């Protein structure tokens, strides 16, 4: 299974502006000073948006791309000095032999860069 999540964090006021323009509501959020799962205190506010879950990486990428294009059409950008955004893609479980690969096009990578989003891929 492949999971794509957008993590956005930073200044609470800037986050509110970004959050208002998103095409989907965040699935979870936190405030500066809240306790993290490891017991430490959060130094900023933020939220997570679950973008897609699919076994096929190409379907996952198509859903992620659609979300980002919609954000761009709404004027949402994460390229502000007081916020950070990270697209997290995780592989859960062992991939089947011959399963499709996760291939980002130059246009998709450019879109991430222009919108101020970093990319993290884990297994």
How far CA 11 is from CA of 18, 47, 112, in Å, comes to: 11, 12, 21
Kindly report, residue by residue over 27-70, the tens digit of the pLDDT.
999 999 999 889 999 999 999 999 999 988 889 999 999 999 99
Determine, yes or no, domain membership for 88: no
Determine, yes or no, domain membership for 89: no
Indicate if the pLDDT at residue 98 is higher than 70: no
Domain ranges, residue 64: 2-83+95-122
Determine, yes or no, domain membership for 90: no
Minimal CA–CA distance to 54: which of 110, 107, 111, 95? 95
Range of weakest confidence among 28-32, 62-66, 89-93, 96-100: 96-100
Determine, yes or no, domain membership for 55: yes
Determine, yes or no, domain membership for 71: yes
Indicate if the pLDDT at residue 15 is higher than 70: yes
Q: State how many domains the chain has.
A: 1
């Amino acid at each position: 299974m492949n999971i794509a999540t957008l993590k956005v964090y930073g200044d609470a006021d800037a986050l509110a502006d970004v959050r208002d323009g998103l095409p989907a509501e965040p699935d979870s959020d936190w405030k500066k000073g809240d306790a993290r799962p490891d017991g430490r205190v959060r130094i900023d506010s933020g939220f997570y948006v679950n973008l897609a879950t699919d076994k096929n990486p190409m379907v996952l990428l198509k859903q992620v791309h659609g979300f980002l294009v919609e954000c761009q059409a709404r004027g949402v950008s994460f390229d502000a000095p007081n916020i950070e955004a990270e697209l997290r893609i995780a592989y859960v479980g062992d991939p089947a032999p011959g399963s499709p690969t996760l291939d980002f096009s130059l246009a998709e990578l450019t879109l991430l860069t222009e919108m101020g989003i970093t990319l993290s891929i884990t297994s």
